[in-house]
Amino acid sequence: MSPNLPSPHSAILQLATERAVFRASEVPRAGNARRALASLVAEGRLIRLGRGLYAAAGADFDAKVTLAEAAARLPGGVICLLSALRFHELTTQNPPHVWMAIGHKRPIRVDYPPVRVIRMSGHSFREGVEEHLVGGVGVRVFSATKTIVDCFKFRRTVGLDVALDALREGWQRRAFSMDELWHFAGTCRVRNLIRPYLEML
């Protein structure tokens, strides 16, 4: 190994300081990375969160870091519904699962963290997606407005009371404009459903 290259242990620990969670595939190819990962876990300097997913030992995990873990496990997925409401601080609920939207045809294989999958497609899946950096990890989250509309669309899953509370909270906090909300209501085909509640705001 060239003396100018960092040892695999150093490269991995450097990555762990920069990222809340990281995949084994992201480890720089310096020496035997797989053996170095196993060694650092055995020494208690890293923790293995799941298949191919690691974090620094003693990392300060919070709800948003859990979203980063889910994003690392399901690249291309989008944080949605209750988890997105929590991210945008439109609810005080702390859901036990990470709610994530994925495409209809995509297979799912996640052992950690616990994920509640919602299947979406077309404009409903592609529109209203924001990119946020959480613990050094890129996390895709539906915007506050799109999330509120999704709660109405999936009211049988999350409860109509959740959708109504989010709508009132978002309006009080000026988290959306009526034009923006109406646009996503059209995208998600819930305009007739949501119209009476908008008239009550």
- Quick: pLDDT tens for 123-151: 999 999 999 988 777 899 999 999 999 99
Residue with tokens 């529109």: 127
- pLDDT given for residue 111 in this prediction: 66
* Number of other CB atoms surrounding residue 88 within 10 Å: 22
**DSSP per residue over 57-115, as a string?**
TT----HHHHHHHHHHHSTT-EE-HHHHHHHTTS-----SSEEEEEETT------SS-E
Token couple for 10: 């150093």
Q: What is the mean pLDDT of residues 75-91?
A: 93
The percent of residues above 70 in pLDDT, for the chain, comes to: 87
Residue 114 has pLDDT above 90, yes or no: no
Provide φ and ψ at 173, rounded to 5°: -90, 0
Q: Binning pLDDT at 50, 70 and 90, where does residue 62 land?
A: low
Report the distance separating Cα 18 and Cα 193, nearest Å: 45
Q: What is the mean pLDDT of residues 80-106?
A: 89
- pLDDT given for residue 6 in this prediction: 54
- pLDDT given for residue 47 in this prediction: 77
Q: What is the pLDDT of residues 153-192, one digit of tens each?
A: 999 999 999 999 999 999 999 999 999 999 999 999 999 9
Which domains does the chain possess? Answer: 8-56 (1.10.10.10), 63-198 (no CATH)
Least confident residue range of 52-56, 59-63, 79-83, 92-96: 59-63
Q: Binning pLDDT at 50, 70 and 90, where does residue 102 land?
A: very high
Contact criterion met (CB below 8 Å) for 56 and 137: no
**Is 0.75 topped by the overall pTM?**
no
- pLDDT given for residue 3 in this prediction: 45
Residue 2 has pLDDT above 50, yes or no: no
Residue 1 has pLDDT above 90, yes or no: no
